[in-house]
Structure 1
């Protein structure tokens, strides 16, 4: 053995460390790329319903959180102040196993739009921006569009679950909101 040769075990250890570092770097690059891709191309769920009631009635039903247990099959225990930057709190159902979310209000335009943004655990993993848009129809009714854009590295693995479980909740909530708002509009007309 000459003095310029290195012992094999030391060389092997350095190669293994270098390989591990490259693998770790590769994983980080893939995760960052996935997160950036999800930010640019969210997975969207959307449900639209036409309601035979004016926007002010629909807005009043939508924002009366205290009444949600009476009619809303998808969001229970909704609480919080409707002001930009405030935190809302709601559960997906009344069971002990319900998911509890605490999104931050991003937009409040009475009779036009309500939007909040939330995340599960930490940002970039599973984030959602939820909105309700109210559009007036030619006949004085309202088109309600409920949308959620999901982003994060976990989203591509959950799209089937979201489509099968969350989208039906949107539809159920829209239908229930329509029934309540139309009943409220009839009560106003009868008064």
Structure 2
């Protein structure tokens, strides 16, 4: 199993950060590492996500809980490969702590290339920048 985590304190309201993370139409705009998302990032939906360096999209099932937690789960049959990306938002004195965790497991893990730690760090930094920019203009 591979477990990676990155977090950042964002000088923006929780609702703004949530809007950034669930806006599939603009995710490719803010340098998130995602080049395209087909579908809506809503609870119970399945989306197709294409990332930098990969030509083929990955299907992921979206789960959301109370506007503060979201997971994207993608898996191959018989759990040959399972990747769960979790987004947690925690309010902190008018700001928001964003924590993103990627958990990858399965027999094909050694031949796959889930996100690197740098990819994850770049994603949270870009989300921070986008949310702070949008919160300032609201």
- TM-score category of the 2 structures, normalised to the smaller one: 0.7 to 0.9
Q: CA deviation at 1:67?
A: 0.8
Within 2, Cα distance between the matches of 1:81 and 1:61?
13
* CA distance 1:173–1:142, shift in 2 (3 Å): same
Q: Distance in 2 between matches of 1:123 and 1:45?
A: 23
In the alignment of these two chains, the number of paired residues is 138
Say whether the 8 Å CA contact 1:69–1:76 is kept in structure 2: yes
Distance in 1, matches of 2:44 and 2:23, equals 19
Question: Partner residue of 2:57?
Answer: 100
Residues 1:47 and 2:47 aligned together: no
- The TM-score with structure 1 as length reference comes to 0.65
Task: Look up the match of 2:24.
Answer: 65
Two-structure CA RMSD over aligned residues (Å):
2.0
8 A contact 1:59–1:110 mirrored in 2: no
Q: How far apart are the structure 2 equivalents of 1:50 and 1:67?
A: 22
For 1:73-88, list aligned pairs within 5 A.
Answer: 73-88=32-47
Find the aligned partners of 1:168 and 1:123 in 2 and give their Cα distance: 29
Which ranges of structure 2 fall in alignment gaps of 5 or more residues? none
Question: 1:58, CA displacement in angstroms?
Answer: 0.3
User: Which structure shows the higher helix fraction?
Assistant: 1
In structure 2, C-alpha distance between the alignment counterparts of 1:101 and 1:123, rounded to whole Å: 17
Cα pair 1:126 1:151 within 8 Å, conserved: yes
State the distance in 1 between where 2:5 and 2:123 align: 12
TM-score with structure 2 length normalisation? Answer: 0.88
Structure with max Cα Rg: 1
Equivalent pair of 1:127/1:150 in contact (CA under 8 Å): yes
Distance in structure 1 (CA, Å) of the matches to 2:42 and 2:20: 17
Deviation at 1:60, TM superposition (A): 0.6
Gaps of 5+ in 1: 1-41
